[in-house]
Each structure stands twice: as structure tokens, then as C-alpha cells.
Structure 1
Amino acid sequence: MKHLTPLTLLACGSFNPITNMHMRLFELARDHFHQAGKYQVTEGIISPVNDKYGKQGLASAKHRLEMARLALETSEWIRVDPWESEQEQWSETVKVLRHHYKELLKSHCIRRLPGKNNWPIEKAAGASLASSLTDLCDVGWRQTSLCTERRKRRPWLDSVD
């Protein structure tokens, strides 16, 4: 049997509030990586932003974390992580990725492999976050991160032939 590389999926965002589509993003990403035949997705992490993110109408991190915890109660592989929301300031996505990478190295005894494409964590993002991903290439992050498109339903346009 072929060896599959363990992989953790990470989604950063406001999760204001968390929705079924946020959780669906993880399912789509896991299916994608499993179908590639190289990876075994072992964990999904939802990382809500800090209160100082500056988004108008942003619920408190405390409430967003609790909403995410409740939404994920039945998931066996996706969890919410409070680290990003507990920082003193808003954190760039790459800083959050580095934090979780270091935590994976500590907790799972993952060893660093030579080369820049051997990170055991991938960014899963919706289209609203995709523009912030350019900084990841600058630090040698994988360029296989998964992005899904958000389709806004507009009944007045959808019904036009």
C-alpha cells in the first residue's frame, strides 16, 4: 500500500457567523486531497480572527469561538482553535499558518523534510480570503492551497434567460 502524507487543513476568517458552507469547505478540500492519492487529511482547524480585525459588525471572538465550537460538536476531525483570536492584534494569515505548523511539529512529532513543499498543513479558503494568499508564496508555502468560489444567489438574475 502506498504511503500517504498526513495533512492538516486550516481555514482562517471572521466566521461571523460560522455557516454550513464553512464546514462544507473542509469536506470539499478533504475530498480533493484524498482524490489526489498523495495525502491523508488528518485534521481540520478553524481559526477565527482577532477582535481587532476591524470588520464592521464583527461579533466578539468569544461568541464566534463558541458558535464554531457548537457547529463542530459532531465533527470528528474539524476543530476550532482560539490562538489567532487571542492575540493582542490582528494576525496575518502567514503568521497563523506558521503558528499551527510549529504546533504540529510539537504535537505530532512531524519532522521537517528538505525542500520548500513539505509542509504538513494546507490553507483552505473561500474566495473572500483568496486575495490575502499572495504572501504565502513569498515564504515558500505550498502553492496547492484550495480555494472555493462563493456564489451569491441573486434570484432576480438567476431567473432571467
Structure 2
Amino acid sequence: MTSQEKTKVVLLACGSFNPITNMHLRMFELARDHLEDTGRYIVVKGIISPVGDSYKKKATENSDWITVDDWESQQLEWVETAKVVRWERLKIM
């Protein structure tokens, strides 16, 4: 299967990440490895969507594919994960 035939996937993790740990980041690596090892998928991005109002960690500054999106943390109320997924989907389309 060529890369053009593979399904593009974006990994999204929502949570407090308080504090974010290396295992949070490792979770993305394990998921990407598993999906890409099937030969059917190519992971194009990983997104961490933390809750809270003062998230300032720089844990992803050395990654070229995992980013932090603070949209969820800037909402005034709790946001359902499905809404975060829709938000992220709109941004990448």
C-alpha cells in the first residue's frame, strides 16, 4: 500500500495533564507505532488538548508532530470530548 492509499490519522488526547509526563507523550508514540505498523494508516499529527486555565508547559517544544491546543482550556465550562474532536477536525480540514 502506498502512502497515498493510507488513511491519514490525527491523534487527540484530552485531559488535565497535570502535570504532563513523558508517558503522556509516549502514549502518542505507541499509538502512532501501532497504527502505522498495520500498514493501513499514516499518523500526520498528535494533539494534546488540556483542560485548565493556566496551562503553560513546554513539553512538546521538541516534537515536530505533537502540538498543544489550548482551545479547550480557554472555554468557560467543561467541554465534551466529542466537541473537542469536532473543533480539531474543523481546523485540519
Fold shared per TM-score above 0.5: yes
Residues 21-40 of structure 1 mapped to structure 2, 5 A cutoff: 21-40=23-42
Partner residue in 2 for 1:78: 66
- For each residue in 1:52-85, what CA deviation from the matched residue of structure 2 results, as whole angstroms up to 9, or x when unmatched? xxxxxxxxx32x3x11xx1111101000001100
Aligned to 1:109: none
1:104 aligns with 2:76: no
Match of 1:112 in 2: none
Decide which structure has the larger Cα Rg and report it: 1
Q: How does 1:1-161 map onto structure 2 within 5 Å?
A: 1-2=1-2, 3-49=5-51, 51=52, 61-62=53-54, 64=55, 66-67=56-57, 70-105=58-93
- Count of residue pairs the alignment pairs up: 91
Structure 1: tracts of 5 or more residues without a match: 52-60, 106-161
Gaps of 5+ in 2: none
C-alpha distance in 2 between matches for 1:19 and 1:5: 29
Residue 13 of structure 1 and its aligned partner are, at CA, apart by 0.3
Q: Please, what TM-score do these two structures have when normalized by structure 1?
A: 0.54
Q: 1:126 maps to what in 2?
A: none
Percentage of pairs with the same residue = 55
SS of alignment partner, residue 22 of structure 1: helix
Could you report, residue by residue, the CA deviation over 1:100-122 in whole angstroms, capped at 9, with x for unpaired residues? Answer: 111121xxxxxxxxxxxxxxxxx
Separation in structure 2 between the aligned mates of residue 30 and residue 83 of structure 1, nearest angstrom = 23
User: Structure 2 counterpart of 1:96, which letter?
Assistant: V
Letter of the structure 1 residue corresponding to residue 91 of structure 2: E
Distance 1:22 1:104 in 2: 22
Partner amino acid for 2:78? W
TM-score (ref. length: structure 2): 0.91
Q: What is the RMSD computed on CA atoms of the aligned residues?
A: 1.1
Q: Which has the higher contact order (CA 8 A, sep 6+)?
A: 2
- Following TM superposition, the consecutive aligned residue runs of length 4 or more in structure 1 with deviations greater than 2 angstroms are none
